[in-house]
Structure 1
Amino acid sequence: MILLQVQQVARYFGADTLFENVSLDVSDNSRIALVGRNGVGKSTLLKMIIGNESPDAGQITKKKGLTIGYLAQNTGLESDKTIYAEMLSVFERLQIMEKNLHEMEAKIADPGADHSSSEYSQLLNQYDQLLHDFKEQNGYGYEAEVRSVLHGFHFEQEDYDRKISSLSGGQKTRLALAKLLLEQRDLLILDEPTNHLDIDTLTWLEGYVQNYKGALLIVSHDRYFLDRIVNEVYEISHHHSSYYKGNYSAYIDQKAERLRQDWKNYEKQQAEISKLEDFVNKNLVRASTTKRAQSRRKQLEKMERLERPEGDEKGPHFKFTADSQSGNIVLTVKDAAIGYDGHIISSPINIDLRKNQVMAIVGPNGIGKSTLLKSVLGQIPFVKGSSEFGTNVKVGYYDQEQHNLHDKKNVLNELWDDHPTTPEKDIRSILGSFLFIGDDVSKVVHNLSGGEKARLLLTKLAMKHDNFLILDEPTNHLDIDSKEVLENAVMDFNGTVLFVSHDRYFINKVATCVLEIAPQGSTLYLGDYDYYLEKKAEQEEIAAAKSTAETPIENSSKEVSTGKVNYQQGKERQKQERKLKRSVEEFEQLVEKLDAQKNDLENQMSSPENYNDLEKMGELQAKLQEISKKLAEAEENWEQASMELEEFLA
Structure 2
Amino acid sequence: MLLLQANNVERRFGADILFHNVNMQIDEHSRTALVGRNGAGKTTLLKMIAGITEPDEGTISKAHDLSIGYLAQDQGLDSQNNIWDELDSVFAPLHEMEKSIHQLEEKLSSIDSTTDEYQYIIQQYDHLQTTFKEQGGFEYASKMRGVLTGFGFGEDMYDLPINSLSGGQKTKLALAKILLQEPQLLILDEPTNHLDMNVLNWLEDYLRGYNGSVLVVSHDRYFLDHVVSQVYDLDNQTLTHYTGNYSAFTKEKADWLRAEMKHYDQQQKKIAKLEDFVNKNLVRASTTKRAQARRKQLEKMDRMERPTTDDSSIHFSFHSDKDSGNEVLDVENLKVGYNENVLAGPLSFKERKGQRIGIIGPNGIGKSTLLKTILKKQPAISGSIKLGANLEIGYYDQEQQQLHPDKTVLDEVWDDHPEVPETEIRSLLGSFLFVGDDVFKTVKELSGGQKARLELTKLSFQPINFLILDEPTNHLDIDSREVLETAINEFTGTVLFVSHDRYFLNQVATDILNMSSTGITHYQGNYDDFVNETSTLSQNEDKTTIPSTTQTSSKKSAGQQSYQASKQNQRARRKIQREVDKFEQEMDSLQAKHDQIEQQMSAPEVATDIAKLSDLQKQLDECQQQLDQAEENWTDAAERLEEFDQE
Q: Could you tell me the TM-score, scaled by structure 1's length?
A: 0.82
Q: Structure 1 pair 456/579, CA: closer, same or farther in 2 (3 Å)? A: same
What is the CA RMSD across the aligned residues, in angstroms?
Answer: 2.2
What is the rounded CA distance, in whole Å, between the counterparts of 2:56 and 2:153 in structure 1? 43
Could you say which residue in structure 2 is the equivalent of 1:466? 464
Could you say which residue in structure 1 is the equivalent of 2:78? 78
Q: 2:252 aligns with which of 251, 254, 258?
A: 254
Could you say which residue in structure 1 is the equivalent of 2:294? 296
SS in 1 for 2:545: helix
Map 1:456-605; keep pairs closer than 5 Å.
Answer: 456-541=454-539, 545=542, 571-574=543-546, 576-579=548-551
CA-to-aligned-CA distance 1:231-274 (integer Å, 9 cap, x gap): 11001010000111111111111111111112111211221222
Could you say which residue in structure 2 is the equivalent of 1:122? 120
CA-CA distance at 1:581 after TM superposition: 6.5
Letter in 2 for 1:440: D
Answer yes or no: is 1:264 the counterpart of 2:265.
Answer: no
Letter in 2 for 1:250: A
Letter in 1 for 2:183: R
What is the rounded CA distance, in whole Å, between the counterparts of 1:124 and 1:581 in structure 2? 45
Letter in 2 for 1:12: R
CA-to-aligned-CA distance 1:28-73 (integer Å, 9 cap, x gap): 1110000001111111111111222111221111001100000111
SS in 1 for 2:187: strand
CA-to-aligned-CA distance 1:323-381 (integer Å, 9 cap, x gap): 32222221111111111112221111112111111100111111111111111111112
What is the rounded CA distance, in whole Å, between the counterparts of 1:276 and 1:439 in structure 2? 45
CA-CA distance at 1:386 after TM superposition: 1.2
Q: Structure 1 pair 316/576, CA: closer, same or farther in 2 (3 Å)? A: same
Answer yes or no: is 1:429 the counterpart of 2:427.
Answer: yes
Answer yes or no: is 1:450 the counterpart of 2:448.
Answer: yes
Could you say which residue in structure 2 is the equivalent of 1:105? 105
What is the rounded CA distance, in whole Å, between the counterparts of 2:328 and 2:307 in structure 1? 43
The farther-off stretch of 306-315 and 229-238 is 306-315
Contact 2:37–2:310 under 8 Å retained in 1: no
CA-CA distance at 1:12 after TM superposition: 1.5
CA-CA distance at 1:160 after TM superposition: 2.5
Answer yes or no: is 1:284 the counterpart of 2:282.
Answer: yes
Letter in 2 for 1:572: T
The farther-off stretch of 191-200 and 237-246 is 191-200
CA-CA distance at 1:444 after TM superposition: 3.0
- 5+ residue gaps, structure 1: 546-570, 587-650
What is the rounded CA distance, in whole Å, between the counterparts of 1:574 and 1:531 in structure 2? 27
SS in 2 for 1:60: strand
SS in 2 for 1:466: coil
CA-CA distance at 1:387 after TM superposition: 1.3
What is the rounded CA distance, in whole Å, between the counterparts of 1:452 and 1:572 in structure 2? 52
Could you say which residue in structure 1 is the equivalent of 2:304? 306
Answer yes or no: is 1:29 the counterpart of 2:29.
Answer: yes
Map 1:23-172; keep pairs closer than 5 Å.
Answer: 23-110=23-110, 113-172=111-170
Map 1:360-375; keep pairs closer than 5 Å.
Answer: 360-375=358-373
Map 1:311-326; keep pairs closer than 5 Å.
Answer: 312-326=310-324
What is the rounded CA distance, in whole Å, between the counterparts of 2:406 and 2:124 in structure 1? 73
CA-to-aligned-CA distance 1:96-151 (integer Å, 9 cap, x gap): 222222233333444xx433333333333333332222222221111111122122
What is the rounded CA distance, in whole Å, between the counterparts of 1:535 and 1:31 in structure 2? 29
Q: Structure 1 pair 385/212, CA: closer, same or farther in 2 (3 Å)? A: same
Q: Structure 1 pair 189/585, CA: closer, same or farther in 2 (3 Å)? A: farther
What is the rounded CA distance, in whole Å, between the counterparts of 2:162 and 2:265 in structure 1? 60
Q: Structure 1 pair 114/576, CA: closer, same or farther in 2 (3 Å)? A: closer
Q: Structure 1 pair 279/413, CA: closer, same or farther in 2 (3 Å)? A: farther
Could you say which residue in structure 1 is the equivalent of 2:391? 393
Letter in 2 for 1:529: Y
What is the rounded CA distance, in whole Å, between the counterparts of 1:181 and 1:257 in structure 2? 37
SS in 2 for 1:318: coil
What's the % identity of the aligned pairs? 54
What is the rounded CA distance, in whole Å, between the counterparts of 1:164 and 1:425 in structure 2? 51
Q: Could you tell me the TM-score, scaled by structure 2's length?
A: 0.82
What is the rounded CA distance, in whole Å, between the counterparts of 1:489 and 1:519 in structure 2? 32
What is the rounded CA distance, in whole Å, between the counterparts of 2:201 and 2:547 in structure 1? 22
- 5+ residue gaps, structure 2: 559-647
What is the rounded CA distance, in whole Å, between the counterparts of 1:423 and 1:289 in structure 2? 59
Q: Structure 1 pair 98/406, CA: closer, same or farther in 2 (3 Å)? A: closer
What is the rounded CA distance, in whole Å, between the counterparts of 2:553 and 2:107 in structure 1? 42
CA-to-aligned-CA distance 1:602-636 (integer Å, 9 cap, x gap): xxxxxxxxxxxxxxxxxxxxxxxxxxxxxxxxxxx
Contact 2:235–2:309 under 8 Å retained in 1: no
Could you say which residue in structure 2 is the equivalent of 1:612? none
What is the rounded CA distance, in whole Å, between the counterparts of 2:441 and 2:112 in structure 1? 85
Letter in 1 for 2:157: D
What is the rounded CA distance, in whole Å, between the counterparts of 1:234 and 1:466 in structure 2? 39
